[in-house]
């Protein structure tokens, strides 16, 4: 399958729709996708004509997280460590960039919202889900750590609930995601999600653009999502795990659809 257009951008009046477009990989984040996404986010920050940004996924899925075929590519230990540190720093900066947009950001979730996909869900101002949505923070099962999504999960759901999701690593459905506060509303199916999204956009557009942006600024002023030094500490922790033997085994077991060695001990 082609990755020629890994991110689709559609502008409809005051609404910009960003569609993660790698359906053959459940919209897992490739380097090409996130490079394009980072550029679009920078453009939107200065675009006063756009008042609502919708993030969704193509092909019935939202985002399966980082493309592990890129993480697992063979490199020297030194190269792998440096690459993963840089990758994880950019991931954290991307979530912050989404949250810092002056527009209201809505995540519309169908299918898989795993790992880094959860970061998009929680960095958005409003998260909506269809009945097909599934949510998971599986990093520890892959020998990795949820370094940059953890603060956003804690902000959305509280530290205790975020801790359970990340440490247990199990899949939850839309009803459970709604119950624990991971999403704000859920619809039974894709058609219902589309209607819910339209209603939410219409509500937001009733607000004055400047007042909405100022309100987002005040919400941010209540406290930073990341404590001082966390982003770098998270990048270091992710890089150490990604470059180590647990990640090698975890990613291999994922690709081979088997349990990792440590789960059989």
In a domain, 84, yes or no: yes
Q: Is residue 256 part of a domain?
A: no
Domain at 19, CATH number: 3.90.226.10
Q: What is the dihedral of CA 56, 119, 35, 97, to 10 degrees?
A: 100
Q: Could you write out the DSSP letters of every residue in 1-69?
A: ---S-SEEEEEETTEEEEEE--GGGTT-B-HHHHHHHHHHHHHHHT-TT--EEEEEESTT--B--B-HH
Average pLDDT, the chain: 94
- For residue 136, what is the enclosing H or E element? strand 134-136
Predicted local distance difference test score (pLDDT) of residue 77: 77
Q: Pairing state of beta strands 126-129 and 112-114?
A: unpaired
187 φ/ψ sector (left φ>0, alpha ψ -120 to 50, else beta): beta
Partner residues linked to 19 by β-bridges: 8, 56
Taking the C-alpha atoms of residue 265 and residue 262, their distance in angstroms, rounded to an integer, is: 5
Question: pLDDT > 70: what percent of the chain?
Answer: 97
Is residue 238 a part of any domain in this protein? no
Q: What is the pLDDT at residue 2?
A: 56
- The pLDDT tens digits of the residues spanning 65-99 come to 999 877 656 677 788 788 889 999 999 999 999 99
66 Cα distance to chain centroid: 9
Please tell me the total count of domains within the chain. Answer: 1
Residue 230 is predicted with a pLDDT of 95
Q: What kind and span of H or E run contains 210? A: helix 209-221
In a domain, 207, yes or no: no
**pLDDT higher than threshold 80 for residue 233:** yes
Asked if residue 155 is part of any domain, the answer here is yes
* pLDDT at residue 128, rounded to an integer: 98
Q: Is residue 96 part of a domain?
A: yes
Other beta carbons less than 10 A from residue 30's beta carbon: 19
For range 44-49, the mean pLDDT: 96
Considering the domain boundaries, does residue 36 fall inside one? yes
Residue 114 lies in a domain: yes
pLDDT digits (tens, 9 = 90+) for 157-209: 999 999 999 999 999 999 999 999 999 999 999 999 999 999 999 999 999 99
Which domain covers residue 181, as residue numbers?
7-189
Average pLDDT over residues 248-262: 93
Taking only the tens place, the pLDDT of each residue in 17-43 is 999 999 999 999 999 999 999 999 999
């Amino acid at each position: 399958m082609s990755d020629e257009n890994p991110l689709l951008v559609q502008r409809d009046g005051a609404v910009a729709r960003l569609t993660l477009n790698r359906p053959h990989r459940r919209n897992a984040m490739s380097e090409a996708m996130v490079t394009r996404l980072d550029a679009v986010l920078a453009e939107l920050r200065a675009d006063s004509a756009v008042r609502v940004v919708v993030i969704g996924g193509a092909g019935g899925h939202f985002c399966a997280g980082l493309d592990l075929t890129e993480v697992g590519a063979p490199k020297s230990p030194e190269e792998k460590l440096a690459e993963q540190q840089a990758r994880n720093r950019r991931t954290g900066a991307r979530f912050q960039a989404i949250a810092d947009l002056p527009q209201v950001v809505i995540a519309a979730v169908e299918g898989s919202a795993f790992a880094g996909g959860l970061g998009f869900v929680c960095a958005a101002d409003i998260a909506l889900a269809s009945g097909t949505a599934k949510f998971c923070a599986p990093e520890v099962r892959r020998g990795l750590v949820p370094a940059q999504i953890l603060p956003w999960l804690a902000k959305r759901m509280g530290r205790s609930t975020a801790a359970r999701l990340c440490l247990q690593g199990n899949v939850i459905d839309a009803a459970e995601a709604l119950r624990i506060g991971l999403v704000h509303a859920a619809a039974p199916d894709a058609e219902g999600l589309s209607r819910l999204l339209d209603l939410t956009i219409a509500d937001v557009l009733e607000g004055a653009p400047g007042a909405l942006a100022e309100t987002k600024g005040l919400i941010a002023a209540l406290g930073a999502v990341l404590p001082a030094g966390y982003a770098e500490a998270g990048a270091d922790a992710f890089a150490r795990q990604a470059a180590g033997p647990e990640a090698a085994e975890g990613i291999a077991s994922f690709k081979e659809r088997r349990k990792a060695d440590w789960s059989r001990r």
